[in-house]
Amino acid sequence: MLEAVILIILVVGGAAALSWPLGKYMTALFSGKYARFDSGVARVVGPVPDQDWKRYAIALISFNALMFAFVFALLARQHLLPLNPDGQSAASLDLVFNTAASFTTNTNLQHYSGESTWSYLAQLGGLMWLQFVSAASGIAALAALARGLGGQSTMGNFFMDAGRAAFALLLPLAVVFATILAIRGVPMTLEGAAVATTLEGATQTIARGPAAAFVAIKQLGTNGGGFFGPNSTHPMENPDFWANIAEMIAILLIPMACVWMFGGLIGRMKHAGVVFGVMLAFLLVKIGGAVTFESTPTQAFADLAVMQDTGNLEGKELRLGATTGPLWSVLTTSTSNGSVGAMHDSLNPLTGLMPMAGMWLNATFGGVGVGMIGMFLYVVVAVFIAGMMIGRTPEYLGHKIEGHEMRLAVLALFSHALLILGGTAIFAATPWGQDTLNNIGAHGFSEILYEFSSAAANNGSGFEGLDDDTPAWNIATGLVMLIGRFLPIIVPLAIVGSLMAKSRRAESAGTLSVEGATFGGMLAITVLIFGALTFFPAAALGPIAEHTALMR
């Protein structure tokens, strides 16, 4: 138990400590403090006029459309292109569609196993490239939103912001983390698989590749798609305890820093502190729950001649320590990362509920940029409800929240629920889902529920027993990922655009404070009711049913 607590403090505390200076740097970067760098970006992308919310959104969508189209073409033709030492063949078009959509939307849902599907060129030039630019898109959107809320007359320029994010934030951090990972043993080579003759005389072909570079940006950009199929349970993707710590800190680092950047750009650090506190509280509760639930030994071994003194070890790796599986599962789904340090399909039933809840809320730090945008939606709703309760015009940072903004906010929040619950309902009731399960009963339902939650939340992890490389799954989740990514980016930009058009009021003694513990509590309750309660029936049918029926 002490071991678990120390590890959690190391990872969560370490990430939080590092996020503070990083957040300050990001505030400076997106405020244009580095003029020489900015003019360098301007020289590269061309003229960078200031944009209002509509133009910013169109720019973002245009570039993302190019992202999708380019990588679709690259993946579809990978068998004809160079840098394919292991001779990967052509992939099916529905898988290409799903993968291109997946990495464009920062989801990194993988209905494939990397080392046996994609060539090095596809992984590097297609998927890793998307990991950089999709993360950059999300961070840019947050900067734009914050500028509008902070009272500026424009949202900035998308290409300038994306360039700042990609070249001055993600790239240097990636180099640092990739170096750490390489030193700990993650391979970094363009040679094809190695062939070994084992001690007992068998042949073992061992996949390797340019993994260190890939894994670094996978974690930092809350992408999550692994170089190898089993993600960070694969010994070459996560070779030892210290690489493991670095990878976990990398999951949280930029999402946490984004909260500080938000606060810096709107000029209200105390408010950012309250938001950070609420997110951290949710995170710690989920971590506590997951670690506790996972310490119950594997139920299937209960009456057998097996020692019952360790927790559930199915799907876990020994070198990572017992706490890693559940801890990582919460971190990865709280941040829409999606990488895994243990197999989620083999987690104890209630442990599996923690990552699901993280994806349903999608804002307890959330993805880079978009997590804070998601929490902004909850803040708008919380302020509105609080205002109604005390009979005052709802106001957030001097902006009046009226019917139009509320309708948009509720649209964005409910679309998330609709995508998840609607998709799950359809697939649970038809062979599309039923024929692809790896586990029967309530756990099978959980597999379907998890997959749609992961796609809608742009997470990318999964209960990987699900046979998800089918046209039905590929197309359905592809569409859900696209809607789940762009709707919750464009709608908040529209909300802030609408607020910017109104006159801003100075705050008075009568204004509802967004900086105290009271507001923090209000925000937490709003998140719980809108986020968690909506999904309670689904949770009851899946993980909770499995727990009550089968666990002793």
Partner 1 sequence: MMSYFLPSLRFWLASLLVCVIAYTALMLALAQALVPAKASGSLVERGGEIIGSALIAQDFTSDRYFWPRPSAIDYDGMGAGASNLSPTSADLTERAQGLIARHGATPENPLPADLVAASGGGLDPHISFDAAMFQASRVAASRGLGTDEVRALIEQEAFTPGGIFTSGRIVNVLALNLALDAAAE
According to CB under 8 A, which one of 96, 213, 253, 522 is a site residue for partner 1?
213
According to CB under 8 A, which one of 152, 241, 417, 524 is a site residue for partner 1?
241
Q: Quote the radius of gyration of the chain (alpha carbons, Å).
A: 23
According to CB under 8 A, which one of 29, 91, 100, 124 is a site residue for partner 1?
124
User: Please, are residues 149 and 86 in contact by the beta-carbon 8 Å criterion?
Assistant: no
Contact set for partner 1, span 306-325 (CB under 8 A): 306-310, 312-322
Pairing of β 395-396 and β 194-197: unpaired
Q: Does 196 bind partner 1 (CB under 8 A)?
A: yes
User: Between 250 and 289, how does the x/- string for binding to partner 1 read (CB under 8 A)?
Assistant: ----------------------------------------
Q: Does 37 bind partner 1 (CB under 8 A)?
A: no
Q: Which stretch binds partner 1 (CB under 8 A): 20-28, 253-261, 298-306, 503-511?
A: 298-306
109 alpha carbon, distance to own chain's centre: 11
Least distance from C-beta 178 to partner 1, angstroms?
Answer: 5
Q: Does 545 bind partner 1 (CB under 8 A)?
A: no
CA dihedral 360, 363, 367, 368 (to 10 degrees): 170
Contact set for partner 1, span 40-59 (CB under 8 A): 44-48, 58-59
Q: Does 502 bind partner 1 (CB under 8 A)?
A: no
Q: Which stretch binds partner 1 (CB under 8 A): 222-230, 402-410, 483-491, 502-510?
A: 222-230
According to CB under 8 A, which one of 183, 281, 529, 533 is a site residue for partner 1?
183
200 vs 508, which CB is nearer to partner 1? 200
Q: Does 506 bind partner 1 (CB under 8 A)?
A: no
Contact set for partner 1, span 142-161 (CB under 8 A): 159
Q: Does 166 bind partner 1 (CB under 8 A)?
A: yes
Q: Which stretch binds partner 1 (CB under 8 A): 141-149, 272-280, 396-404, 460-468?
A: 460-468
Least distance from C-beta 85 to partner 1, angstroms?
Answer: 13
Q: Does 331 bind partner 1 (CB under 8 A)?
A: no
364 vs 459, which CB is nearer to partner 1? 459
User: Please, are residues 347 and 382 in contact by the beta-carbon 8 Å criterion?
Assistant: no
User: Please, are residues 186 and 236 in contact by the beta-carbon 8 Å criterion?
Assistant: yes
CA dihedral 330, 133, 457, 440 (to 10 degrees): -80
Least distance from C-beta 236 to partner 1, angstroms?
Answer: 6
166 vs 401, which CB is nearer to partner 1? 166
According to CB under 8 A, which one of 113, 154, 292, 534 is a site residue for partner 1?
113
Q: Does 202 bind partner 1 (CB under 8 A)?
A: yes
According to CB under 8 A, which one of 189, 393, 518, 548 is a site residue for partner 1?
189
Contact set for partner 1, span 70-99 (CB under 8 A): 70, 86
Q: Tokens standing for 99? A: 């993968």
Size of the site for partner 1 (CB under 8 A): 118
12 vs 412, which CB is nearer to partner 1? 12
Nearest to 230 by CA among 387, 52, 464, 514: 464
Contact set for partner 1, span 357-386 (CB under 8 A): none
Beta strands in 111-238, from DSSP E residues, in sequence order? 194-197, 203-206
Q: Does 463 bind partner 1 (CB under 8 A)?
A: yes
User: Please, are residues 9 and 15 in contact by the beta-carbon 8 Å criterion?
Assistant: no
Least distance from C-beta 450 to partner 1, angstroms?
Answer: 12
Least distance from C-beta 54 to partner 1, angstroms?
Answer: 12
Q: Does 484 bind partner 1 (CB under 8 A)?
A: no
Q: Does 103 bind partner 1 (CB under 8 A)?
A: no
DSSP for residue 341: S
Q: Which stretch binds partner 1 (CB under 8 A): 163-171, 275-283, 478-486, 504-512?
A: 163-171
> Would you tell me how many other CB atoms lie within 10 Å of the CB of residue 516?
13
Alpha helices in 362-510 (DSSP H): 370-390, 403-429, 431-434, 442-456, 471-501
Q: Tokens standing for 387? A: 């205002």
Burial class (CB in 10 A: 0-12, 13-18, 19+), 274: buried
Nearest to 274 by CA among 445, 6, 28, 523: 523
Least distance from C-beta 370 to partner 1, angstroms?
Answer: 19
User: Please, are residues 439 and 465 in contact by the beta-carbon 8 Å criterion?
Assistant: yes
DSSP for residue 391: T
| Distance in angstroms between the alpha carbons of the first and the last residue of the chain | 22
For 53-71, give one letter per residue: b (16+ CB within 10 A) or e.
Answer: beebbebbeebbeebbebb
DSSP for residue 202: -
Angstrom CA distances, 436 to 27, 76, 108, 412, 439, stand at: 46, 25, 20, 30, 9
